[in-house]
Amino acid sequence: MNETPQVVTIAGSDSGGGAGMQADLKTFQARHAFGMNIVIALTAQNTLGVQESYPIPPAFIDAQFASLAADFQIRAAKTGMLADREHVACVVKNLQAVDFGPLVVDPVMIAKGGHPLLEADAITSIRTELLPLATIVTPNIPEAEVLADCEIHTEADMMKAAKMIQQFGVKHVIIKGGHQVGEQARDYVLFASGESKWLSGPRIETQNTHGTGDTFSACIAAELAKGTPLEEAILIGKQFIQGAIEQGIAVGHGHGPTNHWA
Ligand code: PLP
């Protein structure tokens, strides 16, 4: 019998179920991979925004890593909300001690409602400690601007920023174009080889976009756990997130979640 693909998310919990590790686990399920979670922070959250967050003590993060490493054959991992510098350092230390396979880093910084999910002083740790461990990093445009410390106004700026981010030691970079204006959402992918490509999809007008970035990066991680080659995993991720946005769920009074069973 073939081994069941096993994948873990190292992320924050969204009590509203639409983003964070809940979106990741729903995506893993939809992609037919067995999902696990290492919780970095809890949030009290709904479709209107994040009301409170509560980082988990690092010793308990160590315990979660130890539990999973002792029992499962994890073939890919992703990171999401990492809260602050202390938690990034804790995750880096643990990732260096285990073999969880390819790592997808979603450099989550601020929730749509404006609540910070990463303290500003953790950016240097993400660049210098976490990115060298990563197979691929998946920033949106505002996150790419912070990582590369530049402004992005044009597609040429996106290409330049991807190159700067790659210099931190991550193999592949995808800058998501969802925050651009225009009829197309164009993502720029820069591969380790130096080759690059643009992915285009129609911009979908909807307010149900909560958890979009989490879902996209989780889909790539699930595919990598299944052994799908990276380039194909990215295309599947793009297709999956497009469907998940098109069929977003109108629950709550704010930004409803993307749809993982679409
Ligand atoms: N809450 C948590 C715990 C997250 O990890 C993320 C991921 O980006 C978000 C919220 C973001 O939600 P939104 O898509 O509304 O920006």
Q: Where are the beta strands (DSSP E) in the chain?
A: 6-14, 34-46, 49-55, 76-79, 103-105, 136-137, 172-175, 184-190, 196-202
Cβ of 36 below 6 Å from ligand 1: no
Percent of the chain with pLDDT over 70: 99
CA of 23 to the centre of ligand 1 (A): 9
The single residue listed with the structure tokens 């979908």 is 204
- Domain ranges in the chain are 6-246
201 has a pLDDT exceeding 60: yes
Q: Which two tokens stand for residue 206?
A: 């909807």
Q: How far apart are the C-alpha atoms of 140 and 42, rounded to whole Å?
A: 23
ipTM above 0.85, yes or no: yes
Q: Which of 214, 217, 253 to mutate to test the pocket of ligand 1 (most atoms within 8 A of CB)?
A: 214
- pLDDT for the residue 260: 82
- Asked if the 6-246 domain carries CATH number 3.30.2350.10, the reply is no
CB of 143 closer than 6 A to ligand 1?
A: no
Q: Is 112 in the pocket of ligand 1 (CB under 6 A)?
A: yes
How many Å lie between the centroid of ligand 1 and the Cα of residue 184? 23
pLDDT of residue 259: 87
Single out the residue of 18, 83, 28, 30 nearest to residue 261, CA to CA: 30
Q: Ligand 1 within 6 A of 145 CB?
A: no
What are 10-22's pLDDT values in tens digits? Answer: 999 999 999 999 9
- Closest CA to ligand 1's atom 6: 20
Ligand 1 atom closest to the Cα of residue 13 is: 3
Shortest-distance Cα residue to atom 11 of ligand 1: 111
CA of 146 from ligand 1 middle (Å) equals: 17
Q: Are 255 and 19 in contact (CB under 8 A)?
A: no
Three-state DSSP class for residue 24 = helix
Q: What is the pLDDT of residues 231-254, one digit of tens each?
A: 999 999 999 999 999 989 999 999
Q: Over the stretch 211-236, which tens digit does the pLDDT of each residue have?
A: 999 999 999 999 999 999 999 999 99
Residue owning the nearest CA to atom 5 of ligand 1 = 20
Using one digit for the tens of pLDDT, what is the confidence trace for 46-88? 999 999 999 999 999 999 999 999 999 999 999 999 999 999 9
C-alpha distances in angstroms, 135 versus 106, 168, 190, 192, 221? 11, 12, 12, 9, 10
pLDDT in tens, 80-106: 999 999 999 999 999 999 999 999 999
pLDDT at 61: 98
Phi, psi of 106 (to 5 degrees): -100, 105
- Please tell me if the CB atom of residue 19 comes closer than 6 angstroms to any atom of ligand 1: yes
Q: Ligand 1 centroid vs 6 CA: distance in angstroms?
A: 23
CB of 226 shorter than 6 A to ligand 1:
no
pLDDT at 262: 63
Mutate to test the pocket of ligand 1, among 54, 81, 260 (most ligand atoms within 8 A of CB): 81
Contact 43 CB / ligand 1 (< 6 Å): yes
Q: pLDDT, tens digit, for every residue of 115-165? A: 999 999 999 999 999 999 999 999 999 999 999 999 999 999 999 999 999
Residues 184-205, mean pLDDT to the nearest whole number: 93
